[in-house]
Amino acid sequence: MTNQEFTLRTKELNNLLFAFALRLTRSRQDAEDLMQETAIRAYKYRHNFTKGTNFKSWISTIMRNTFINIYRKNKTRRHLNHTSDEITDNVEVKNIVANSGEQNLRVEEMTRMLNSMGDIYAIPFLMFYKGYEYQEIATQLNIPIGTVKSRIFSARVKMKQMLGERAAA
Query: Is residue 45 situated within a structural domain?
Result: yes
Q: What is the pLDDT of residues 13-35, one digit of tens each?
A: 999 999 999 999 999 999 999 99
156 within 8 A of 125, measured Cβ to Cβ: yes
Is residue 22 domain-shared with residue 58, that is, in the same domain? yes
Query: Would you say residue 8 lies in a domain?
Result: yes
Q: Based on the structure, what is the number of domains in the chain?
A: 2
Say if pTM beats, i.e. exceeds, 0.75. no
Query: Could you tell me if 16 and 70 lie in one domain?
Result: yes
Q: Are residues 115 and 53 in the same domain?
A: no
Residue 133 located in a structural domain: yes
Give the range of the structural domain holding residue 24, as residue numbers without chain letter. Answer: 3-76
The confidence score (pLDDT) of residue 96 equals: 63
Give tens-digit pLDDT for 125-168: 889 988 889 999 999 999 999 999 999 999 989 888 888 877 66
